[in-house]
């Protein structure tokens, strides 16, 4: 699978990530309502892919709100764009991509689509560059052996263009002959690691094991992990980083065990307008994701749940943040 998301003849074509690993199913999204629903339900997920989906959703809106002469109802498109941008508040890539394509709105629907496709192409190249650079950082941190790398959530082809961010770095290590094993966390409550990352690793034929989220610190303490590599949904100006819930705990365990903790993301994930992690909005998702599994209650009916989609890792716990533009070591300040 080369791309989890693309444009085809007036539709956004996306892998339905809720169906994996049982079924590789593609959906055609032809309306803004469908795009918003797909983002909210995690049919599409991963900050870069969510951003590209948002950009293509604006392109859909511009086409739908254009008259036969190509003139666009800009107010209607901007209302749709706001709905798209609000569908997942933590991932800054979504707002960034929507705002970028809106700059072409006065030039007509074709110009908006061209810009949206440019977002896709740029992300593809950015992630390839960042992943290669991150693999080199990991090799420099652990120079004397093939690496046992722990990763969280899904940061591969399903979540980004260009083969992935953190998982792209893992793939680069494998191409270098420097990968011994990947330990993938389950990533509760929706199991993006178990369902998606393991599926990608199996497709690539890379050595891997699945790890219960709460067992990851024990794996580090037991000497089974050489490095932790994760993605990001928003990086504040000071280097504090929001990522899938559970990342903060991994960073704490990595710091305690003196294990490198590396974040890989496109530069569009960096949000200079947010000074620190306290200013990052954290999406709170439906309790049903926690109290039910595959349609079955896993606890006492009526139980309340704390279900943030993300947490914030303080900059001082991060060994390196790697983007296509370079390497930032916030903990070295």
Catalytic positions, please? 233
Tell me how far apart the alpha carbons of residues 118 and 268 are, in angstroms, rounded to a whole number. 14
Bridge partner list, 149: 182, 227
Tell me how far apart the alpha carbons of residues 308 and 88 are, in angstroms, rounded to a whole number. 12
Residues ≥6 apart with Cβ < 8 Å to 258: none
Task: Tell me if 254 sits within 8 A of 221, measured CB to CB.
Answer: no
Structural tokens at position 284: 């709170």
Map residue 51 onto helix, strand or coil.
helix
Lay out the sheet containing 147-151: strands in order across. 208-211, 179-185, 147-151, 227-230, 261-264, 320-323, 326-328
H or E stretch covering 77: helix 74-86
Structural tokens at position 85: 């941008």
Which is it for the CA torsion 124, 130, 136, 139, positive or negative?
Answer: negative
- What stretches of the chain adopt beta strand conformation (E)? 5-8, 11-15, 26-29, 147-151, 179-185, 208-211, 227-230, 234-236, 241-244, 261-264, 270-271, 292-293, 296-297, 310-313, 320-323, 326-328
> Strands 326-328, 320-323: parallel, antiparallel or unpaired by DSSP?
antiparallel
| Angle at the Cα of 261 from the Cα atoms of 192 and 209, rounded to 5 degrees | 45
Query: What is the number of other CB atoms lying within 10 angstroms of the CB of residue 73?
Result: 14
């Amino acid at each position: 699978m080369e791309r989890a998301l693309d444009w085809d003849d007036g539709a956004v074509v996306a892998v339905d990530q809720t169906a994996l690993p049982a079924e590789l199913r593609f959906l055609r999204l032809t309306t803004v309502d469908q795009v918003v629903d797909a983002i909210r339900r995690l049919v599409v997920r991963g900050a870069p892919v969510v951003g590209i989906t948002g950009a293509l959703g604006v392109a859909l809106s511009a086409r739908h709100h254009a008259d036969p002469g190509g003139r666009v109802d800009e107010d209607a498109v901007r209302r749709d764009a706001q709905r798209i941008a609000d569908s997942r508040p933590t991932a800054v890539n979504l707002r960034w991509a929507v705002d970028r394509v809106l700059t072409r709105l006065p030039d007509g629907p074709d110009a908006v689509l061209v810009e949206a496709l440019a977002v896709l192409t740029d992300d593809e190249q950015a992630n390839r560059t960042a992943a290669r650079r991150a693999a080199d950082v990991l090799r420099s941190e652990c120079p004397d052996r093939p690496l046992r790398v722990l990763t969280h959530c899904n940061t591969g082809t399903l979540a980004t263009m260009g083969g992935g961010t953190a998982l792209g770095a893992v793939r680069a290590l494998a191409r270098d002959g420097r990968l011994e094993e990947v330990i993938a966390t389950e990533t509760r409550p929706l199991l993006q690691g178990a369902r998606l990352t393991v599926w990608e690793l199996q497709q690539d034929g890379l050595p891997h094991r699945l790890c219960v989220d709460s067992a990851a610190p024990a794996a580090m303490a037991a000497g089974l992990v050489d490095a932790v590599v994760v993605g990001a949904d928003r990086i504040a100006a000071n280097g504090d980083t929001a990522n899938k819930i559970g990342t903060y705990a991994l960073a704490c365990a990595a710091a305690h065990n003196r294990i490198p903790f590396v974040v890989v993301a496109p530069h569009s994930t960096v949000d200079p307008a947010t000074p620190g992690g306290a200013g990052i909005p954290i999406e709170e998702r439906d309790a049903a994701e926690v109290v039910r599994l595959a349609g079955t209650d896993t606890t006492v009916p009526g139980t309340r749940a704390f279900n943030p989609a993300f947490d914030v890792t303080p900059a001082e716990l991060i060994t390196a943040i790697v983007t296509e533009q370079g390497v930032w070591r916030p903990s070295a300040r």
